[in-house]
Amino acid sequence: MNEHVDSVKTYTAVWLILLALTGITTGVAYIDLGAFSVVIALFIAAVKMLLVALFFMHMRHSTKLTQLAAAGAFLWLFIMMAFTLADVWTRGLVGTQGR
Amino acid sequence: MAEQAHAPAESLALREQFNTPEQQKESSTFGMWVFLITEVMFFGGMFLAYTVYRNTYPVVFAMASTSLTAWIGALNTGVLLCSSFTMVMAVRAAQLGRRIALIWFLVLTLFLGLVFLGVKAYEWNQKFVEHHIPGAHFYFEGAAEQGPAQLFFSLYFAMTGLHALHMVVGAGILSWLLYHAVRGRFTAEYMTPVDIAGLYWHFVDIIWIFLFPLLYLIDRHMR
Amino acid sequence: MNTAAIETQENYLNAGYGLKSWLLTKDHKRIAILYLITITIFFFIGGIFASLIRIELLTPQGNLVSSETYNKLFTMHGIAMIFFFLIPSIPATLGNFFLPMMIGARDLAFPRINLLSWYLLVIGGAFAIFAMLAGGVDTGWTFYTPYSTTYSNSWVIATALGIFVSGFSSILTGLNFIVTVHRMRAPGMTWFRLPLFVWANYATAVIQVLGTPVVAVTLVLVFCERVFHIGIFDPNLGGDPVLFQHMFWFYSHPAVYIMVLPAMGVISEIISVFSRKPIFGYHVVAFSSMAIAVIGFLVWGHHLFVSTQSVYAGLVFSFLSYFVAIPSAVKVFNWTATLYKGSISFATPMLYAFGFIGLFTIGGLTGLFVASLGFDVHVTDTYFVVAHFHYVMVGGTIMAFLGGLHYWWPKMTGRMYPENWAKLSAAIIFVGFNLTFFPQFILGYMGMPRRYHVYPDEFQVLHVLSTAGASILAIGYLFPMFYFMWSLRYGEVASANPWGATGLEWTMQSPPPVHNFDEIPVVTHEVYDYSTVVKEGVEVG
């Protein structure tokens, strides 16, 4: 934190990339990509998130523990979503009423 | 020595449970990250609900999404990203001990945050006028079944509302930081509150980075 | 005994007098005492509801209370006991008091946040008590939708608000513990020299931080649905009530590990001291705490077996639920191995530990029964489940809590509790507990549904046995309240280390000084190293 003072150039570059990505994701939404649209949108959002986290939140300079904690949060979110969707997406497969 | 002027601020700031300022700073920073983990799970519950219902009602959700104004959402996203830029510049100014720069960047960040909230208020008002607020007066043209459309807007208001609430808290925190920055409380040796407030602000920005495409950009090409 | 020495010696209890010095304290030890008082009050409240439930169930007819009132009784019993007693219990009292000392720190990382945590519990509790007094809530502690969001006419919002606020109490405690254990350990206090009680509370803290926010946001959505009619669980809108159950149980299953992991930590400490042996397989026991925390997040769907959750999801959750039993069983094996060739002492804490091992084993094994999808279809929502979770929560956690309270009482208060009364109470509690809850396994297996106050005549004998047991259990719980209070004034003055235990908390006077350590210790020996302590403690002063 107090050791690493990033340059204005770095921050400005990240900022401009973020704005550009926002424009891209908005524009791409108007193109018919079928099911791929949501993948692209989430991918761009994830890239923006990483840029903010790594550069603006200084995560690339932070301790392994912090990085592990952040990764853990997303892993847990993924677990919550994956197992719930595993229920929602497999209902009715057996063919029994209500199952 | 320049440190003489800073020493009182530093020693005032070292809490008695800590042995060194470094330990205090590391603990505070790590503590904020742990708090942000809880926020990920907190918002995550709503993202889960969103995912389940968008999966169940893809067509209605797309229709409802297109009733939002994409360019306003994009503009607001830009506003928040700019505020993240000014926030990290504020943190940088604090790291370098530049009080005036810190103050100005905090003012800018606060201003941009308030702009965001103003635009949000405008958007919500639009929804009110169009009868898209869930409840007794809800009506969405074009949807055969009103229920799923109302689900979309329930999630829209719940998620953007929770986000806006976090922005308001953030604005409060920025105001507090501004007050203390003007009083000269922060130095290059002690700027932890600015640092961790920055982490919070960027996190709220990240939430919006996901909210924008998920709420505003579902199948825009269908229009 | 020289009681004058206690009064003149500077400790955290006499360091400041007056309400303000307690209500604005930053001392983790005082905050622990504040918590102890608060959760005891809620234990009483939950106990009153339990008594009314058991009295009603003496007869097959629902003649004491109406069905609506009965719904409120079991709901409020569950809410008081789970959210306002069990979840805070060990971490916020014994954890708060001893974790900093055990790692060689002067306090937690964030003392003011610690105090805020207590206030949040009190405020949340106030909302809950308001709801109880204003008419009660009848949704079950599980708040299933759409009943809780649309149809219930009871005080759902106030109760949900209370639980929401107290949830943040839990989150902040967890946050505090995590940062403290990572950043505030004394020099030489490596991870594998930490007492197992610290490992247990650390694992608990991880669960608190990852799980509680989800139930918080779920309750926010219930609140929004009732107040603003922003409904996302409403089937009329195409909403999915089972989604509520997923979100609710994503927290509430790990919550049971919040309740039991610290208890296991207490048992590890007690077994070690009263066998005068290091815990067998220290590393394994430490890792098993983490394993329970992680795997505990993967099994919540076993509460949704009959909910119209898909069969495939049910299979996965059932399979994973068997896995979570493994680290728990590992602990039981290791405690047993610790006892082998140990120098066993039958002091009260050890009696509670023995009780825990037996009762938790029964509770845990019956957990495997209900983890089996096929079996659970028959016993879900029956008294079998009720018996299962009371065996682990009461036979497990509350026994461990009492054991820990007795074990650390001399350190916290500088007084010994009366040993013979304590042993008697432990025996009464053990007998009362089993008489209350063992018949419930049979009742459930025979088909007695839970949450019903009217039942077929043939179930009455078992219900009468259960209520008789509950009366004995209540007496057993009352005794410690009296003799603990008595001991504060008349108990034998305790030395710094009356049990001859290892651990940094036993190196300081009883009661401890305000700042724990004048000088932060440098730790050089391994944990549970009994060669360095004498059985008879040193006199204070």
* Domains of chain C and any CATH numbers: 30-532 (1.20.210.10)
Q: Say if the Cβ atoms of A86 and C313 lie within 8 Å.
A: yes
Q: What pLDDT is attached to residue B7? A: 44
Whether residues A80 and C310 touch (CB distance < 8 A) is answered with no
Q: Which of A22, A74, A89 sits opposite B78 (nearest CB)?
A: A22
CB atoms within 10 A of CB C30: 24
Q: How far apart (Å, rounded) are the C-alpha atoms in residues A81 and C342?
A: 47
Go through chain B and tell me how many residues it has: 223
Q: Please give the pLDDT value at position C534.
A: 62
What CA–CA distance (Å, rounded) separates C165 from C128? 10
Cα–Cα dist C260/C283, whole Å: 19
pLDDT of residue C165: 98
Contact C317 A80 (CB under 8 A): no
Three-class HEC string of chain A: CCCCCCCHHHHHHHHHHHHHHHHHHHHHCCCCCCCHHHHHHHHHHHHHHHHHHHHHCCHHHCCHHHHHHHHHHHHHHHHHHHHHHHHHHHCCCCCCCCC
Q: ∠ CA(C203), CA(C204), CA(C207), 5° rounding?
A: 95
Mutation test of the interface with chain B: which of C120, C168, C183, C215, choosing the one with the most B Cβ atoms within 10 A?
Answer: C183
pLDDT at B78: 97
Q: For the CA atoms of B101, B103, B105, B106, what is the dihedral angle to 10 degrees?
A: 160
Q: List, for residues C74-91, the tens digit of each pLDDT value.
A: 999 999 999 999 999 999
Residue C536: per-residue pLDDT: 54
**How far apart are the CA of A76 and the nearest CA of chain C, in angstroms?**
7
Question: pLDDT at residue B5 above 70?
Answer: no
For helices C383-392 and C241-275, give the axis angle rounded to 10 degrees. 40
CA distance A39 to chain C (A): 24
Task: Give the neighbours of chain C: at least 3 Cβ pairs within 8 Å.
Answer: A, B
For testing contact with chain A, the best of B85, B89, B95, B109 (most A CBs within 10 A)? B85
Q: Is C109 on the interface with B (CB under 8 A)?
A: yes
Residues of C in contact with A76 (CB under 8 A): 210, 297
Q: What single-letter DSSP state applies at residue C238?
A: T
Global pTM reads: 0.95
Q: Which two tokens stand for residue C171?
A: 């989150």
Residue position matching structure tokens 């107290």? C166
Count how many residues are written for chain C: 541
List residues in chain A touching C: CB distance below 8 A. Answer: 65, 72-73, 76, 79-80, 83-84, 86-94, 96, 98-99
Measured between CA atoms, the residue of chain C closest to residue A86 is C313
Angle at B193 between CA B186 and CA B18, to 5 degrees: 95
pLDDT confidence of residue B222: 62
> Can you give the residue ranges of every domain in chain A?
1-57, 63-90
Query: What's residue C325's pLDDT?
Result: 94
In chain C, the residue whose alpha carbon lies closest to the alpha carbon of B22 is C183
List CB contacts (< 8 A) between B70 and chain A.
Answer: 26, 29
Nearest C-alpha neighbor of A63 from the set C195, C179, B21, B95: C179
Q: Which CATH superfamily is domain B20-222 in?
A: Cytochrome c oxidase, subunit III, four-helix bundle (1.20.120.80)
Q: Do C106 and B38 touch (CB under 8 A)?
A: no
- Find all residues with CB under 8 Å of C362, minimum gap 6, and list them: C391, C395
Q: Which residues of B touch C (CB under 8 A)?
A: 15-19, 23, 26-27, 30-31, 34-35, 37-39, 41-46, 48-49, 52-53, 56-57, 134-136, 145-148, 150-151, 154-155, 157-158, 162
Per-residue pLDDT tens over the stretch B56-107: 999 999 999 999 999 999 999 999 999 999 999 999 999 999 999 999 999 9
As a whole number of angstroms, the distance between CA C93 and CA B151 comes to 43
Distance CA C11, CA C29 (A): 10
Structure tokens at C80: 């008081």
pLDDT of residue B16: 85
d(CA C82, CA C518): 38
Give pairs for A41-47: CB < 8 Å, separation 24+.
A41/B213, A41/B214, A41/B217, A42/B210, A42/B213, A44/B213, A45/B209, A45/B210, A45/B212, A45/B213, A47/A21
First to last CA, chain A: 53
| Residues C88/C170, Cβ–Cβ less than 8 Å | yes
Please answer yes or no on whether A98 and C312 come within 8 Å at the CB atom.
no
Determine the residue among A67, A77, A85, A87 to mutate to test chain C binding: the one whose Cβ has the most chain C Cβ atoms within 10 Å: A87
**C360-397: per-residue pLDDT in tens?**
999 999 999 999 999 999 999 999 999 999 999 999 99
- CA C203 – CA C335 distance, rounded (Å): 19
Closest by CA to C83, choosing from C116, C38, C48, C50, is C38
| 3-class DSSP state of C150 | helix
pLDDT at A34: 82
- Say if residue A98's pLDDT is above 80: no
**Contact between residue B83 and residue B112 where contact means Cβ atoms under 8 Å apart:** yes
Amino acid at B48: L
Cα–Cα distance list, C226 to C75, C157, C247 (Å): 19, 7, 17
Residue A96 reports pLDDT greater than 80:
no
First and final CA of chain C: distance in angstroms? 13
Q: Half-sphere exposure of residue C340, counting CA atoms within 13 Å on the CB side?
A: 8
Contacts of A87 in chain C (CB under 8 A): 242, 246, 301, 304, 309-310, 313
Taking CB atoms and an 8 Å limit, are A99 and C246 in contact across chains?
no
Residue type, B62: A
Q: Which residues of A touch C202 (CB under 8 A)?
A: none
Task: Map tokens 């003007």 to a residue.
Answer: B182
By Cβ distance, the residue of C105, C230, C237 closest to B17 is: C105
Distance CA C73, CA C53 (A): 7
Contact of C237 with B148, CB cutoff 8 Å: yes
CA torsion sign, B97 to B100 to B101 to B105? Answer: positive
**Phi first, then psi: what are they for C157, rounded to 5°?**
-65, -45
B6 vs B1: CA distance, rounded Å: 9
**Chain A: residue nearest C243 by CA?**
A84
For the question of an ipTM over 0.90, the answer is yes
The pLDDT score that the predictor gives to residue C538 is 38
Contact C309 A91 (CB under 8 A): yes
Rounded distance between C-alpha atoms, residue B5 and residue C92, angstroms: 41
N-to-C CA span, chain B: 67
DSSP characters over B106-153: HHHHHHHHHHHHHHHHHHHHHHHHTT-SSSTT---TT-S-HHHHHHHH
The residues spanned by each domain of chain B are: 20-222
Give the neighbours of chain B: at least 3 Cβ pairs within 8 Å.
Answer: A, C
Average pLDDT estimate for B182-186: 92
Residue C8: its pLDDT value, please?
Answer: 65
Give residues 247 to 276 of C whose Cβ lies within 8 Å of B. Answer: 247
For B136, list phi and psi in degrees, rounded to 5. -65, -30
Other beta carbons within 10 Å of A28: 18
Question: Minimal CA–CA distance to C141: which of C154, C123, C126?
Answer: C154
User: Which residue in chain B has the smallest CA separation from A74?
Assistant: B40
Distance CA B149, CA C24 (A): 50
Which regions in chain C score pLDDT beneath 70?
A: 1-8, 534-541
Using a CB-CB cut-off of 8 Å, the residues of chain C touching B151 are: 231-232, 237-239
Whether residue B70 and residue A84 make contact (CB cut-off 8 A), yes or no, is no
CB C114 within 8 A of CB C142: no
Q: Which two tokens stand for residue C209?
A: 């931080």
